[in-house]
A = this chain, B = another copy of it.
Amino acid sequence: MAGRSNAPGRSVTSRALAILDAFGTATPRLTLSEIAERSGTPLTTAHRLLGELADWGALTRRSDGRYEIGRKLWDLGLLAPVQLELRQVAAPFLSDVHTTIRDTVHLAVRDGLAALYVERISGRESVPVVSQVGTRLPLHATGVGKVLLAAAPHDVVEQALRSLPRLTRHTLVDPGRMRRELAEVRRRRYARTNEEMSPGAASLAVPVQVERRSGPAVVAALGIVVPPHRRDLLRLVPVLEVAARGIGRELARTRDFH
Protein backbone atom coordinates (compact mmCIF):
# COMPACT_ATOMS: atom_id res chain seq x y z
CA MET A 1 0.00 0.00 0.00
CA ALA A 2 1.04 3.53 0.07
CA GLY A 3 0.35 7.01 1.25
CA ARG A 4 1.04 7.86 4.87
CA SER A 5 0.44 4.26 5.67
CA ASN A 6 1.02 3.69 9.35
CA ALA A 7 -0.46 0.23 9.22
CA PRO A 8 2.24 -1.94 7.71
CA GLY A 9 1.88 -5.55 6.71
CA ARG A 10 -1.89 -5.58 6.61
CA SER A 11 -3.26 -6.83 3.37
CA VAL A 12 -6.27 -5.22 1.76
CA THR A 13 -8.14 -8.48 2.06
CA SER A 14 -7.45 -8.72 5.76
CA ARG A 15 -8.82 -5.23 6.20
CA ALA A 16 -11.97 -6.06 4.31
CA LEU A 17 -12.38 -9.18 6.39
CA ALA A 18 -11.73 -7.23 9.57
CA ILE A 19 -14.65 -5.06 8.58
CA LEU A 20 -16.88 -8.09 8.23
CA ASP A 21 -15.58 -9.26 11.60
CA ALA A 22 -17.05 -6.15 13.16
CA PHE A 23 -20.46 -7.69 12.69
CA GLY A 24 -21.66 -10.18 15.26
CA THR A 25 -24.73 -11.40 17.08
CA ALA A 26 -24.54 -8.47 19.46
CA THR A 27 -23.88 -5.98 16.68
CA PRO A 28 -25.73 -6.92 13.49
CA ARG A 29 -26.20 -3.29 12.42
CA LEU A 30 -23.38 -0.80 12.52
CA THR A 31 -22.60 2.75 11.46
CA LEU A 32 -19.48 3.71 9.52
CA SER A 33 -17.69 5.06 12.57
CA GLU A 34 -18.55 2.03 14.67
CA ILE A 35 -17.18 -0.27 11.99
CA ALA A 36 -14.02 1.80 11.63
CA GLU A 37 -13.41 1.66 15.34
CA ARG A 38 -14.30 -1.99 15.84
CA SER A 39 -12.13 -3.12 12.95
CA GLY A 40 -9.20 -0.86 13.76
CA THR A 41 -9.40 0.68 10.30
CA PRO A 42 -9.02 4.40 9.61
CA LEU A 43 -12.38 5.96 8.90
CA THR A 44 -11.61 6.77 5.28
CA THR A 45 -10.37 3.30 4.49
CA ALA A 46 -13.36 1.71 6.15
CA HIS A 47 -15.56 3.99 4.12
CA ARG A 48 -14.04 2.92 0.82
CA LEU A 49 -14.04 -0.76 1.62
CA LEU A 50 -17.60 -0.60 2.88
CA GLY A 51 -18.53 0.97 -0.44
CA GLU A 52 -17.05 -1.96 -2.31
CA LEU A 53 -18.61 -4.53 -0.04
CA ALA A 54 -21.99 -2.87 -0.33
CA ASP A 55 -21.72 -2.61 -4.12
CA TRP A 56 -21.08 -6.31 -4.33
CA GLY A 57 -23.92 -7.12 -1.98
CA ALA A 58 -21.97 -8.44 0.97
CA LEU A 59 -23.45 -5.62 3.02
CA THR A 60 -26.51 -3.47 2.62
CA ARG A 61 -26.78 0.12 3.57
CA ARG A 62 -30.01 1.00 5.32
CA SER A 63 -31.82 4.27 4.94
CA ASP A 64 -30.51 5.40 8.31
CA GLY A 65 -26.92 4.95 7.12
CA ARG A 66 -26.24 1.80 9.10
CA TYR A 67 -24.75 -1.23 7.43
CA GLU A 68 -26.02 -4.77 7.80
CA ILE A 69 -25.21 -8.15 6.29
CA GLY A 70 -26.52 -8.37 2.73
CA ARG A 71 -28.35 -11.09 0.91
CA LYS A 72 -25.31 -12.22 -1.00
CA LEU A 73 -23.54 -13.23 2.18
CA TRP A 74 -26.69 -14.97 3.32
CA ASP A 75 -26.74 -16.87 0.05
CA LEU A 76 -23.12 -17.87 0.41
CA GLY A 77 -23.67 -18.96 3.98
CA LEU A 78 -26.32 -21.36 2.76
CA LEU A 79 -23.60 -23.15 0.81
CA ALA A 80 -21.61 -24.00 3.94
CA PRO A 81 -21.42 -27.72 4.54
CA VAL A 82 -23.20 -27.51 7.90
CA GLN A 83 -26.10 -25.97 6.09
CA LEU A 84 -26.03 -27.74 2.76
CA GLU A 85 -25.34 -31.27 3.93
CA LEU A 86 -26.28 -31.56 7.56
CA ARG A 87 -29.19 -29.22 7.97
CA GLN A 88 -31.03 -30.07 4.79
CA VAL A 89 -30.72 -33.75 5.47
CA ALA A 90 -31.52 -33.54 9.16
CA ALA A 91 -34.45 -31.11 9.10
CA PRO A 92 -37.18 -33.66 8.28
CA PHE A 93 -35.90 -36.04 10.95
CA LEU A 94 -35.86 -33.30 13.57
CA SER A 95 -39.36 -32.48 12.49
CA ASP A 96 -40.40 -36.11 13.01
CA VAL A 97 -38.87 -36.18 16.48
CA HIS A 98 -40.59 -32.93 17.29
CA THR A 99 -43.96 -34.30 16.22
CA THR A 100 -43.51 -37.32 18.50
CA ILE A 101 -41.95 -35.62 21.50
CA ARG A 102 -43.31 -32.11 21.71
CA ASP A 103 -40.16 -30.60 23.17
CA THR A 104 -37.30 -28.57 21.79
CA VAL A 105 -35.18 -30.63 19.39
CA HIS A 106 -31.81 -29.60 18.06
CA LEU A 107 -28.80 -30.68 16.11
CA ALA A 108 -25.26 -29.58 16.92
CA VAL A 109 -21.74 -30.11 15.61
CA ARG A 110 -18.46 -29.56 17.40
CA ASP A 111 -16.74 -26.31 16.52
CA GLY A 112 -13.46 -26.28 18.40
CA LEU A 113 -14.36 -26.35 22.07
CA ALA A 114 -17.99 -25.42 21.58
CA ALA A 115 -21.18 -27.10 20.51
CA LEU A 116 -22.45 -25.21 17.48
CA TYR A 117 -26.21 -25.40 17.10
CA VAL A 118 -27.01 -26.04 13.49
CA GLU A 119 -30.74 -26.59 13.54
CA ARG A 120 -33.45 -26.24 16.12
CA ILE A 121 -37.16 -26.73 16.46
CA SER A 122 -38.58 -25.15 19.56
CA GLY A 123 -41.12 -26.83 21.79
CA ARG A 124 -43.71 -25.27 24.01
CA GLU A 125 -42.05 -22.46 25.90
CA SER A 126 -42.19 -24.35 29.19
CA VAL A 127 -38.45 -24.90 29.34
CA PRO A 128 -35.89 -22.10 29.17
CA VAL A 129 -33.90 -22.76 26.01
CA VAL A 130 -30.83 -20.68 25.28
CA SER A 131 -29.76 -22.16 21.99
CA GLN A 132 -30.62 -20.71 18.61
CA VAL A 133 -29.33 -21.61 15.18
CA GLY A 134 -25.72 -20.41 15.14
CA THR A 135 -25.35 -20.35 18.90
CA ARG A 136 -22.23 -21.83 20.47
CA LEU A 137 -22.45 -23.39 23.94
CA PRO A 138 -19.82 -25.13 26.07
CA LEU A 139 -19.31 -28.82 25.46
CA HIS A 140 -19.26 -29.89 29.11
CA ALA A 141 -22.64 -28.57 30.18
CA THR A 142 -24.94 -29.59 27.36
CA GLY A 143 -26.26 -32.97 26.25
CA VAL A 144 -25.16 -32.56 22.66
CA GLY A 145 -21.86 -31.15 23.90
CA LYS A 146 -21.09 -34.24 25.98
CA VAL A 147 -21.88 -36.50 23.05
CA LEU A 148 -19.59 -34.49 20.79
CA LEU A 149 -16.81 -34.31 23.36
CA ALA A 150 -17.03 -38.04 24.03
CA ALA A 151 -16.30 -38.62 20.36
CA ALA A 152 -13.61 -35.96 20.01
CA PRO A 153 -9.86 -36.66 19.62
CA HIS A 154 -7.79 -36.97 22.82
CA ASP A 155 -6.16 -33.56 22.59
CA VAL A 156 -9.52 -31.85 22.26
CA VAL A 157 -10.83 -33.71 25.31
CA GLU A 158 -7.73 -32.78 27.30
CA GLN A 159 -8.03 -29.17 26.31
CA ALA A 160 -11.72 -29.10 27.17
CA LEU A 161 -11.11 -30.68 30.57
CA ARG A 162 -8.64 -27.94 31.46
CA SER A 163 -11.47 -25.47 31.72
CA LEU A 164 -14.87 -26.54 32.99
CA PRO A 165 -16.57 -23.30 33.98
CA ARG A 166 -19.38 -23.57 36.50
CA LEU A 167 -22.59 -22.37 34.92
CA THR A 168 -25.10 -23.55 37.49
CA ARG A 169 -24.69 -25.34 40.77
CA HIS A 170 -25.20 -28.64 38.92
CA THR A 171 -22.47 -28.17 36.33
CA LEU A 172 -19.82 -30.89 36.31
CA VAL A 173 -16.59 -29.03 36.93
CA ASP A 174 -14.31 -31.82 38.12
CA PRO A 175 -12.08 -33.19 35.30
CA GLY A 176 -12.06 -36.66 36.88
CA ARG A 177 -15.81 -36.90 37.08
CA MET A 178 -16.14 -35.53 33.58
CA ARG A 179 -13.73 -38.15 32.25
CA ARG A 180 -15.87 -40.90 33.81
CA GLU A 181 -19.00 -39.22 32.49
CA LEU A 182 -17.58 -39.22 28.97
CA ALA A 183 -16.65 -42.91 29.24
CA GLU A 184 -20.20 -43.56 30.34
CA VAL A 185 -21.55 -41.61 27.39
CA ARG A 186 -19.41 -43.66 25.01
CA ARG A 187 -20.66 -46.89 26.56
CA ARG A 188 -24.34 -46.00 26.75
CA ARG A 189 -24.39 -44.07 23.43
CA TYR A 190 -26.38 -41.23 24.90
CA ALA A 191 -25.75 -38.27 27.21
CA ARG A 192 -27.87 -36.51 29.80
CA THR A 193 -27.69 -33.22 31.63
CA ASN A 194 -29.76 -31.96 34.53
CA GLU A 195 -29.71 -28.20 34.97
CA GLU A 196 -25.99 -28.17 34.22
CA MET A 197 -26.26 -25.41 31.64
CA SER A 198 -29.27 -23.47 32.82
CA PRO A 199 -31.61 -24.01 35.76
CA GLY A 200 -34.95 -25.55 34.87
CA ALA A 201 -33.68 -27.45 31.85
CA ALA A 202 -32.55 -31.02 31.38
CA SER A 203 -31.41 -32.59 28.15
CA LEU A 204 -30.84 -35.85 26.39
CA ALA A 205 -28.66 -36.38 23.31
CA VAL A 206 -27.38 -39.12 21.02
CA PRO A 207 -24.60 -39.17 18.43
CA VAL A 208 -25.23 -38.98 14.68
CA GLN A 209 -22.79 -41.32 12.99
CA VAL A 210 -21.65 -41.76 9.42
CA GLU A 211 -19.92 -44.92 8.25
CA ARG A 212 -16.46 -44.15 6.97
CA ARG A 213 -13.79 -46.38 5.52
CA SER A 214 -12.02 -45.93 8.84
CA GLY A 215 -15.13 -46.97 10.80
CA PRO A 216 -18.05 -44.98 12.13
CA ALA A 217 -17.48 -41.26 12.74
CA VAL A 218 -19.60 -39.00 14.93
CA VAL A 219 -20.44 -36.00 12.79
CA ALA A 220 -23.15 -34.38 14.89
CA ALA A 221 -25.33 -34.78 17.95
CA LEU A 222 -29.10 -34.86 18.13
CA GLY A 223 -30.64 -33.64 21.36
CA ILE A 224 -33.79 -32.58 23.14
CA VAL A 225 -34.37 -30.15 25.99
CA VAL A 226 -36.99 -31.04 28.58
CA PRO A 227 -38.07 -29.96 32.07
CA PRO A 228 -35.75 -31.39 34.76
CA HIS A 229 -36.39 -34.67 36.59
CA ARG A 230 -38.63 -35.98 33.91
CA ARG A 231 -39.42 -39.57 34.86
CA ASP A 232 -39.59 -41.29 31.53
CA LEU A 233 -36.74 -39.40 29.89
CA LEU A 234 -34.79 -42.52 29.00
CA ARG A 235 -37.77 -43.91 27.14
CA LEU A 236 -37.03 -41.22 24.56
CA VAL A 237 -33.56 -42.54 23.80
CA PRO A 238 -34.83 -44.97 21.13
CA VAL A 239 -36.78 -42.18 19.43
CA LEU A 240 -33.64 -40.09 19.15
CA GLU A 241 -31.62 -43.10 18.06
CA VAL A 242 -33.95 -43.93 15.21
CA ALA A 243 -33.83 -40.35 13.96
CA ALA A 244 -30.06 -40.18 14.36
CA ARG A 245 -29.60 -43.39 12.37
CA GLY A 246 -31.87 -42.00 9.68
CA ILE A 247 -29.80 -38.84 9.45
CA GLY A 248 -26.56 -40.84 9.39
CA ARG A 249 -27.75 -43.10 6.61
CA GLU A 250 -29.01 -40.20 4.54
CA LEU A 251 -25.73 -38.33 5.06
CA ALA A 252 -23.71 -41.29 3.89
CA ARG A 253 -25.71 -41.29 0.66
CA THR A 254 -25.54 -37.54 0.09
CA ARG A 255 -22.12 -36.80 1.40
CA ASP A 256 -19.27 -36.16 -0.93
CA PHE A 257 -16.60 -38.44 0.44
CA HIS A 258 -13.01 -38.04 -0.65
The answer on a CB contact under 8 Å between B88 and A68 is no
State the Cβ distance, A49 to closest chain B Cβ, in Å. 6
Which residues of chain B are near A78, meaning CB under 8 Å?
77, 133-134
The answer on a CB contact under 8 Å between A71 and B13 is no
The answer on a CB contact under 8 Å between A73 and B73 is yes
CB contacts under 8 Å to B, within A14-47, are 14, 16-17, 20, 23-25, 28-29
State the Cβ distance, A116 to closest chain B Cβ, in Å. 7
Instruction: For A98, give the chain B residue with the smallest CB separation.
Output: B95
The answer on a CB contact under 8 Å between B121 and A79 is no
State which of B49, B58, B79, B92 has its C-beta within 8 Å of the C-beta of A28. B79
A216 interfacial contact with B, CB 8 Å: no
Which residues of chain B are near A60, meaning CB under 8 Å?
81
A254 interfacial contact with B, CB 8 Å: no
A232 interfacial contact with B, CB 8 Å: no
Tell whether A82 pairs with B71 under 8 Å between CB atoms, given A16-B16, A56-B17, A92-B122.
yes
The answer on a CB contact under 8 Å between B76 and A73 is yes
1/0 per residue, CB under 8 A from B, across A226-249: the answer is 000000000000000000000000
Tell whether A70 pairs with B80 under 8 Å between CB atoms, given A13-B12, A52-B14.
yes
State the Cβ distance, A14 to closest chain B Cβ, in Å. 7
State the Cβ distance, A170 to closest chain B Cβ, in Å. 29
State the Cβ distance, A130 to closest chain B Cβ, in Å. 14
A155 interfacial contact with B, CB 8 Å: no
CA distance A11 to B75 in the complex (A): 23
State the Cβ distance, A114 to closest chain B Cβ, in Å. 11
State the Cβ distance, A24 to closest chain B Cβ, in Å. 7
CA distance A24 to B78 in the complex (A): 9
A69 interfacial contact with B, CB 8 Å: yes
The answer on a CB contact under 8 Å between A69 and B73 is no
A187 interfacial contact with B, CB 8 Å: no
Instruction: For A135, give the chain B residue with the smallest CB separation.
Output: B78
* Contacts A13-B53, A73-B77, A74-B77 known; 14 new A-B pairs at CB < 8 A: A11-B12, A12-B12, A13-B49, A24-B79, A60-B81, A68-B80, A69-B77, A69-B79, A69-B81, A71-B80, A73-B73, A74-B80, A74-B82, A75-B134
The 6 listed contacts between A and B (C-beta, < 8 Å) are A11-B52, A17-B56, A20-B76, A23-B79, A68-B80, A74-B77
